[in-house]
Amino acid sequence: MSSYKITDKTLLKIRPLLRDKIFLQICLLVENCYSSKEELLSELRTILDEAEYGLRAGDIVKICKEKPSRKSILTVFSPFAMVVILFTFFLYYFSAFGEKDKLGDSFGTLNTLFSGLAFAGLIVTLFFQRKEIIQNKEELNLTRIEFKKQNNLIKDQNFEGTFFQLLRLHQEIVNSINLYNKKNSHETVGRDCFKPFYNRFVDEFKKTSGSVIREDLSNVGMSKEDANRSNDLKTIKTAYKDFHEINQAEVGHYFRNMYNILKFIHQSDVKSKTLYSNLLRAQLSAYELLLLFYNCLSDMGNEKFKPLLEEYALLKSVSRQLLIEPESHILFYDQSAFNKSVSKRLFSCG
């Protein structure tokens, strides 16, 4: 009676017939043995959808069907049959010709012959077993490689699903931002709010620049250029702190979510991280990039967010001419923040 069994060999055969998700579910049925066609079909019906069941179920059942191997039975029993025939022949020969006294001596020869046949049978058996073990090992390796590919594919699909959910959430955060001007009753919504936000920060910078005491750092061995850069950075940090205190309800959530998206990309196992960081950058308008530029120079983004910007060149499309002081402020970032192909230099802006 034929049985139906899903083995590693059958998995390799049915792999081209199935989609990845369905194939992984069938992999869980490995080594399950089914006594009838109907039993296997019932199991497949719980896994395959209607369309795929109609197309594939018959092919899978045909592949999984196990028939008794006649060749293997003959291989096992033919040596024993030969021994029985030879033994019967020798008994008949010596009995027929009355040479019973020589029968005992002849058994020594027969023993030698049977021992030789048994040894030869053992060698043949070991040879076929070794061949089968090697074949099984190769098939298992192929199956393992296939499982690894499927596992990586599932990981990539899970990553992409989460990534695009985070992008949708980011878009919802942007759309939820609104600014209302009481003077002219004008409401600014969504991405258009970032131009007024940036203008507010510029005003804070100008106000702070006139009030912050610029330190003389020449006595600590700093050059005039480095001292001016240090004072500029201090001004940026103070100005952004004041700006954030007023506008944190709108921009705080926005930048926290963007940081988490970039960190999610950075900590993932996907190979093409640059592809996903480029997709994130493509969502940002000119004024979003400008405000991001100064956010990551402030105490709120300098330590953790800024290195990620430099790692993934998120400021590649920033409008440099719209920076407050383009020539000096651009130097607070490693050049890799603007060009991924440029290696990071050993400069820290504190």
Residue 185 pLDDT class (50, 70, 90 cuts): confident
- Split at pLDDT 50, 70, 90, the class of 345 is very low
Is 50 exceeded by the pLDDT of residue 350? no
- What mean pLDDT do residues 58-65 have? 65
Task: State percent of the chain over pLDDT 90.
Answer: 36
Of 286, 296, 194, nearest in space to 236 by CA? 296
- 180 pairs with which residues across the strands? 187
Residue with tokens 């199991």: 43
- Top mean-pLDDT range of 34-43, 100-109, 120-129: 120-129
pLDDT band at residue 105 using 50, 70 and 90 as cut-offs: low
Which of 145, 132, 7, 133 lies closest to 66 in space, CA to CA? 7
Give the rounded distance of the alpha carbon of 344 from its chain centre: 27
Whether the pLDDT of residue 30 is over 70: the answer is no
CA dihedral 265, 267, 268, 274 (to 10 degrees): 40
More confident residue, 159 or 59: 159
Give the integer Cα–Cα distance in Å for 300 and 42: 59
Q: Give the pLDDT band of residue 68 (cuts 50, 70, 90).
A: very low
Mean pLDDT of 325-338: 91
Task: Give residue 131's region: left, alpha or beta (phi > 0; psi -120 to 50).
Answer: alpha
Rounded to whole angstroms, the maximal C-alpha distance in the chain is 135
In this predicted model, which residue has the larger pLDDT, 341 or 144?
A: 144
pLDDT at position 342 over 60: no
Range from 70-84, 137-151, 224-238, 265-279 that averages highest in pLDDT: 265-279
If DSSP states are collapsed to H, E and C, what string results for the chain?
CCEEECCHHHHHHHHHHCCHHHHHHHHCCCCCEECCHHHHHHHHHCCCCHHHHHHHHHHHHHHHEECCCHHHHHHHHHHHHHHHHHHHHHHHHHHHCCCHHHHHHHHHHHHHHHHHHHHHHHHHHHHHHHHHHHHHHHHHHHHHHHHHHHHHHHHHHHHHHHHHHHHHHHHHHHHHCEEEECCCCEEEEHHHHHHHHHHHHHHHHHHHHHHCCCCCCHHHCCCHHHHHHHHHHHHHHHHHHHHHHHHHHHHHHHHHHHHHHHHHHHHCCCCCHHHHHHHHHHCCCHHHHHHHHHHCCCCCCCCCHHHHHHHCCCCCCCCHHHCCCHHHHHHHCCHHHCCCCCCCCCCCCC
Q: What pLDDT is stored for residue 176 in this prediction?
A: 92
Question: pTM value?
Answer: 0.58
The Cα 261–Cα 312 span in angstroms is: 12
Q: How confident is the model at residue 141 (pLDDT cuts 50, 70, 90)?
A: confident
pLDDT at 329 > cutoff 80: yes
CA gap 124, 140 in Å, rounded: 24
Ranges of each domain in the chain: 3-66, 70-173, 177-337
Q: Which two tokens stand for residue 317?
A: 């499309």
Q: What are the tokens at 290?
A: 């400008």
Mean pLDDT lowest for which of 53-57, 93-97, 259-263? Answer: 93-97
Q: What's the CA gap between 273 and 193, in Å, rounded?
A: 29
pLDDT score, position 221:
57
Amino acid, res. 216: D
- How much is the mean pLDDT over the chain? 77
pLDDT at residue 262, rounded to an integer: 95
Point out the least confidently predicted range of 52-61, 166-175, 328-337. Answer: 52-61
User: 191 CB contacts (<8 Å, ≥6 apart)?
Assistant: 174, 285, 288
pLDDT band of residue 253 (cuts 50, 70, 90) is very high
pLDDT value for 3: 67
Residue 123 has pLDDT above 90, yes or no: no
Identify the CA nearest to 273 among candidates 321, 238, 305, 314: 314
Q: Which of 56-60, 98-102, 319-323 has the lowest mean pLDDT?
A: 98-102
When pLDDT is cut at 50, 70 and 90, the band that residue 214 belongs to is low
Is pLDDT larger for residue 181 or for residue 8? 181
**Angle value at C-alpha 348, between 345 and 350, nearest 5 degrees:** 170
pLDDT digits (tens, 9 = 90+) for 265-290: 999 988 889 999 999 999 999 999 99
